[in-house]
Every structure is written in C-alpha cells, then in structure tokens.
Amino acid sequence: MAATETRLLLLGSVMIFEPVNGYQIRRELLSWNVQDWAHVNPGSIYSGLATLTRRGDLDRHDLVDGGREVAVYTTTARGREAFSTMWREATETVDLLTPLAFHTALALMSLVTREDAAEAVNVRLAHLDAELRGHVERAGGDVAPPHVRAMADLWAGLASTEREWLADLRRRIRAGELDFRGEPERWAPPADDPGWAIARDRERYLSLITARR
C-alpha cells in the first residue's frame, strides 16, 4: 500500500476511536478486511503508527492501565489537517487504474461533513465526465492497435459504471442517508462487536491522559 494511502487510513482510524491503542487499531482494520482491498500487512500497522508519531501527526501517550503499560494514540492538529487535505484529494482525483486512494477515502467518509462529502463527490463526477469525453474524442482515431483500443473501452466502461454509482451516492447524501461528522450516529455495530470494548477503553484512556496533565 502506498505511503499516502497508509497515512490516510491510519490517521482516519485513529480519529474514529481516539484515544486508542495499536492492537485495537489493528483488530479494527482487519475487521474491515483491509488486508484484501487495501493490501495492508497487519504487522505494518504498528510501524505506521510510529511513523505518524514521528511526523507529528499523532501523539503517543504511554499509560499504566490496570497495572500494565499501554501506548495509546491521539491525532494532532497537524494530523487532522493532513487527513482533511488527503481525503479531499483522494476523493476528487480520478485514477481509473489505481483506485485504492479513492476506496480508502470512501471507508473514512463518516469523518467529513455531509456538505464536504457532497462537494467532493460533485468534483469527482466532473472529472469522470471529462475522462469519458476524452475517451470519446480519442476513439475517433486509429492510431492505437485495435486490442489497445479495446482495453481503453474497458476503462471507459469502468468510468461509466463508477459515474452511475457516484450519482446514486450523491443522491443518497442529498437525501440525508448515511452518517457524517457532526450528525447523530444512526448505525451501531452488533452487541458483540469489539468496537464496544474500544469505546469503554476510550473513556478510561481519556481519564488517564487528563490526570497526567
């Protein structure tokens, strides 16, 4: 996985659960099956968190929790600003051959406001339309061999399919569907989901961090 996408994924996941420890982030991301669609090596999650801490995107808090030492992470102002910038760029930039950045941004869409999500989707739709118009213009030439033109037709088909899907996503956003930052959360995981334990730990970690100040 590219460094920018790893940074986006890890920053976003910490923002969702902070304060949170590395094991919890690893377990949560594996429940998203990131090893399949994001090609993340589970062992690289810990080193990624350490890298983001060195960059100043995360703060590491070494706590004693119930007699055991635990490192928990929170995002910094720099990290949150970086996330916002990277999320917008990943959503708006169209790269039909390398869609991983966009897929990563979609997984973290609940961290932005509804207005920002709608605006970014509109920009992406405009970029997709430009890609499709360019394909139509190029299709009139016979410079490329037929099998190469056939491959380009596949890319145009992928763009058309994504455009249809994006238009529906825009409709859902405008209709008030999905959950976004600053809104009440209507979706909740099942009662046995490990995320509930993370939520309980978060409150305890917050109190420990506050007590140290």
Nearest to 84 by CA among 28, 37, 15, 26: 15
Structure confidence by residue, pLDDT tens digits, 190-203: 888 878 889 899 99
Q: Provide the pLDDT for residue 140.
A: 53
CA dihedral 116, 121, 127, 133 (to 10 degrees): -150
Predicted local distance difference test score (pLDDT) of residue 145:
79
Helices marked H in 93-145 = 100-107, 114-139
Q: Where do the structural domains in the chain lie, given as residue ranges? A: 1-93+187-213, 113-180
Residues of the chain where predicted confidence (pLDDT) is lower than 50: 1
Identify the architecture of domain 1-93+187-213 in CATH. Orthogonal Bundle (1.10)
> Tokens 């009662």 map to which residue?
191
Q: Looking at residue 148, what is its pLDDT?
A: 77
Q: Using an 8 Å Cβ cutoff, are 38 and 92 in contact?
A: no
Half-sphere exposure of 61 (CA within 13 A, CB side): 23
pLDDT value of residue 143: 65
Q: Which of 65, 106, 90, 81 is nearest to 212 (CA)?
A: 65
Nearest CA among 119, 142, 138 for reference residue 130: 138
pLDDT in tens, 174-189: 999 999 999 998 988 8
* pLDDT of 193: 85
Question: Tell me, what's the pLDDT at 153?
Answer: 82
Question: pLDDT tens digits, residue range 40-59?
Answer: 888 889 999 999 999 999 99
First to last CA, the chain: 37
